[in-house]
Amino acid sequence: MSTVTSASAPAHVAKLSEPRDIGAIVKFVAVLIIALVVISPLFLLFVASLKTDRFEILADMGSFRAFWVSDPSLQNFADIATFSGALPFGRYLVNSLIILFCTVLGGVFLNSMAAFVLAWGRLPGRAVVLTGLIGLYIVPQESIVLPLLSLVNKAGLGDSFAAQILPWMASPLYIFLIYQFFIQVPRDVYDAATVDGASPFRIYWSVFLPLSLPVLATVAILLGIETWNQYLWPLMVTQTDRARPISVGIASFFGHDSVYWNSAMAASVMMMVPVLIFYLAFQKWFVSSFISSAVKG
């Protein structure tokens, strides 16, 4: 639009461009201010985690000192990093990372394998399995956790890593997401591989997996965020510090008479850092992942 005007009436544009630039700058600054205000709680968290006095943290929150730390210290992080103490946050963080790693790795592998068979396999009854999975997708996690807890306890898996990894690895939603990607692969790709006499697993492993990195990344990101932020289930299934994840560890700060805000802030930052690192590295993928999970509904 602007090119048309500049071609027809350059003098006119010269006059117009100035208020326009100012308008653009004003708009930019406005968006920047809104963004900073909206995000400020996260900034406050990082600032507060560098203050060692828990009373100072509370006192500062009500003023502009909340945005500033005069003598930054990593002492809070050093305190919570030890494996001892009332709440061994180092341990919780390691537990969370173990659960995350196993769930995402296993989940991507198992779900994509099943999706491949459902999309391209020759097994009879695939349509039935697929329909069943879509039906199960509607069942919310919240409405099965209590029977599941009783089941897990009976199997002697209570308070274990397995109880936090196995139930959430395979998921109808992620099988369906990958399935939808796989069925869009042209038939020729599959045929070319079968003519070479490759076995189903070989076709999956060396032809379809390399093709489907975008959807695998989507599943890894969604499953990763979901696993990292699990709360209700680990709250019920973990009884000791052995396999307790960091989300439940941080929550146990509350309910005491005095909250150790300095430790709570540092632990919260520790919980955010892994997500932030991945987010900064794969920002575009994160956003598109959440969109593709939405489109499925």
- Give the whole-angstrom CA distance, residue 206 versus residue 211: 9
What's the token pair of residue 240? Answer: 């000791």
The C-alpha R_g of the chain, in whole angstroms, comes to 26
Q: Binder to another protein among 37, 38, 86, 128 (CB under 8 A)? A: 38
DSSP category for residue 206: I
The amino acid that residue 227 corresponds to is T
Residue 236 half-sphere exposure toward CB, CA atoms < 13 A: 15
Q: Binder to another protein among 9, 136, 189, 192 (CB under 8 A)? A: 136
Shortest Cβ distance from residue 27 to another protein (Å)?
A: 7
In the numeric block, the tokens 């020759």 are attached to 122
Q: Residue 286, interface with another protein (CB under 8 A)? A: yes
Q: Residue 147, interface with another protein (CB under 8 A)? A: yes
DSSP category for residue 141: G
Q: Binder to another protein among 77, 89, 92, 116 (CB under 8 A)? A: 116
How long is the chain?
297
Shortest Cβ distance from residue 140 to another protein (Å)?
A: 5
Q: Residue 122, interface with another protein (CB under 8 A)? A: yes
Lay out the site mask for another protein across 228-247 (x = CB under 8 A, - = otherwise): xx-xx--xx----------x
What's the token pair of residue 130? Answer: 């697929």
* DSSP-based three-state secondary structure for 17: helix
Q: Residue 68, interface with another protein (CB under 8 A)? A: no
Q: Residue 256, interface with another protein (CB under 8 A)? A: no
Q: Using the rule CB under 8 A, give the single segment among 7-15, 28-36, 179-187, 211-219 that binds another protein.
A: 28-36
| Residue placing its CB nearer to another protein in the complex, 7 or 281 | 281
What's the token pair of residue 297? Answer: 């509904």
Instruction: Find the binding residues for another protein in span 153-192 (CB under 8 A).
Output: 153, 166-172, 175
Shortest Cβ distance from residue 254 to another protein (Å)?
A: 5
- Give the whole-angstrom CA distance, residue 81 versus residue 92: 10
Instruction: Find the binding residues for another protein in span 78-107 (CB under 8 A).
Output: none
In contact, 107 and 96? CB cutoff 8 Å: no
Instruction: Find the binding residues for another protein in span 200-229 (CB under 8 A).
Output: 200-201, 204, 225, 228-229
Q: Binder to another protein among 22, 28, 191, 242 (CB under 8 A)? A: 28
Task: With CB under 8 A as the rule, give the number of residues binding another protein.
Answer: 93
CA nearest to 287, candidates 217, 211, 228: 217
Q: Using the rule CB under 8 A, give the single segment among 9-17, 70-78, 81-89, 140-148 that binds another protein.
A: 140-148
| Residue placing its CB nearer to another protein in the complex, 11 or 147 | 147
- Give the whole-angstrom CA distance, residue 51 versus residue 57: 7
- Give the whole-angstrom CA distance, residue 138 versus residue 171: 11
| Residue placing its CB nearer to another protein in the complex, 40 or 82 | 40
Query: What is the four-CA torsion angle of 137, 141, 143, 144, rounded to 10 degrees?
Result: 90
Shortest Cβ distance from residue 169 to another protein (Å)?
A: 6
Shortest Cβ distance from residue 234 to another protein (Å)?
A: 11
Q: Residue 139, interface with another protein (CB under 8 A)? A: yes
What's the token pair of residue 73? Answer: 């210290």
- Give the whole-angstrom CA distance, residue 106 versus residue 109: 5
